[in-house]
Chain A
Amino acid sequence: MAKKIYSTYPMVKYLRKEALPTALCPGCGGGTVLNAFANAVDQLKLDPKDLVVVSGIGCSAWIASPYFLADTLHTTHGRAIAFATGVKVGLPDKKVVVISGDGDLASIGGNHLLHAARRNIDITVILVNNFIYGMTGGQVAPTTPFGAKTTTSPYRNIEHPLQISETVAAAGASYVARWTTAHVYQLIESIKKALQVKGFSLVEVISQCPVQYGRRNRMKEPAEMLRWFLKNSVPVSKAKDMSPEELEGKFVIGEIVNRTRPEFTTELNKLIDEVQEHFGLKEE
């Protein structure tokens, strides 16, 4: 089977073969995200040599590093975006992509996420939101739905989930979109857009974790989780006219924001030019 995939699956050219098979659990949405990202890169005809992929810690952090064949930086928990900031300043002409999970990017790394959006640095973040700490055994996350059961909220979760996309949009990102793993084609289109936007872009992917989330919340099978996503997804346009009560437990999907704002590395290099000009330091 594996051999067949290696010889017939067209996107395999983007993967680090010596790292395969992946460590992802059967039924995990991570494969869908990797597939969507590879397809986006392929459709845009991007050279992987022009990509640097950064990730933090957790299942979703493994999606692209080590599996995606590019320069990959697998960093400490929560800090992927801060590492990526240094990479982007050093290589402003490359596409710098962060792929990691909700626990990594929005919980411990929440501060870096907000400030990168505020700075509007040209980094594309693909945030895989599976509502749970998968790798550490299924503990409650800041994204876990109200009332859901996890190993550390065994009776029910009494905290409210963070609305990641809306928060990042409010912080100043250029582009924000949210899809689920049941919306693969839309997801690919959004990743393509995010990669082309000059500024901070976030694509939040609601993804299934049948092993740690699903089985504790009456959705043992991956397909059940995908059906849950489809049944509860509400397009942005429709969500506008809905009350917070009506939106409780729903997934708002689509483009949350798409706008042009001055980008950080461009401004930084512009500033350096101005300073060098001002002090007469340009080569005559």
Chain B
Amino acid sequence: MTNSPVHRRTVLGGAAAVAAGWALAGCGDSGDGDGDAPRERAKGQRIQLTFWSWVPGIDKPVDLWNRRHPEVQVKVEKVSAVNGAQYAKMHAAVKAGNPPDLGQIEFPVLPGFLLDDGLLDLAPLGVARHKDKFTGWQWQQAVFGRGVYAVPQASGPMGLFVRQDLFDAWEVATPRTWDEYEDAAKAVRRKGAWIETFAPTNGNRLAGLAWQAGARWYATHGDTWIVHIDDEPTRKVADYWESLVRRKLVKTIPDRQNAWYKDVQTGAIPAWLGASWGDALLAGNAPGTKGKWRAAPLPQWKAGAQDFANWGGSTTAVFAKARYPRDALDFAVWLNTAPESIALLIDGGYGFPSAKKGWDTTDLDVDKDFFGGQAYSRVFADAGAHVDTSWRWGPGVDTLYQRLGDAFTDALADGSSFRSVLATVQRQTLDDLRGKGLKAESGG
């Protein structure tokens, strides 16, 4: 161990580790042996499926399944969700030929796994008969061509969380439009606080806000991907935030990090444009502010409009190499539709159920006390019902977020415009897709 810092750092060093990992992985990748071929479970045969997930409290519904299905035991392996580590691990496992049977995969990331041939098309297994159990637009997010590649689990309709006590004390009304939001930002700033942060590296939220404004970043035409990040709606969103940033009406620190949590705890940041799953996040990280928060609908571009957006949400996908695909699918459907499973998932704080029934059979107001008794989930249920359904994700969304983050950071530092960020990222995304051997064109 005292031998050298070189060695230890080599192990930590990404590139070297990457090379080594794949080299070893190469050994296991020698052809599709019989061991990997999908099998039908014989009657009475006991099998075990592995499931990689990071959702808090996922073990509880899985335990319930295991008690009820002694023949199909599911083993949860928790994976880290920090900085997309879970997907790095899954991609590497797919490449190495030893992925788990099931995995927790967010909607935006699904296309990336399709490029790897990583996911099993569930359509031949008859997944279509479950279609009506799920919210339409979420089901659609897992449909590519004729295939269905995942079972939807949860979504994240967006809304605005505010510290009602502070807003009341400062006589700031909860903003209903983006114009009002700007006024609120000014009013809050006069009180010495900052209404929010524009986190330059949070591509997820920006996508949600662009989605609300009417942007459609990805589309397909024949076998070509159409990329349209630098479009009018997204420019409108970019201009809006640039103006807030340049006038110093919002902070630019990263969100959901220590400094941000601290600001949220102390009231230095009294609002958050978040998503439905943000209830657990706020309640867990700012317990001292219990009872003082309220949820409100996302501000609108036009007063009285009903345009909403989504941030997050994930699926239970079956990997292409799953040995017992039928059982894996049965489990995935049960996990996300059985009322008792949904109840346990909601307790764990996993988001907003994709199953239609989940919205009324279960009490979604888990952290009611934190929101002063408000039936806050109705705000999100309403938003979820109005999310524009034509939004599609394309391959390489993680890279897109990273590129947006890098370019916004550059823009904040050197003062170039947010519009130029969009133009840059549009160009880079086309290059990225073409670099992956795909056909891609700019939207007109």
Specify whether A and B are partners. Answer: no
A interface residues with partner B (beta carbon < 8 Å): none
B interface residues with partner A (beta carbon < 8 Å): none
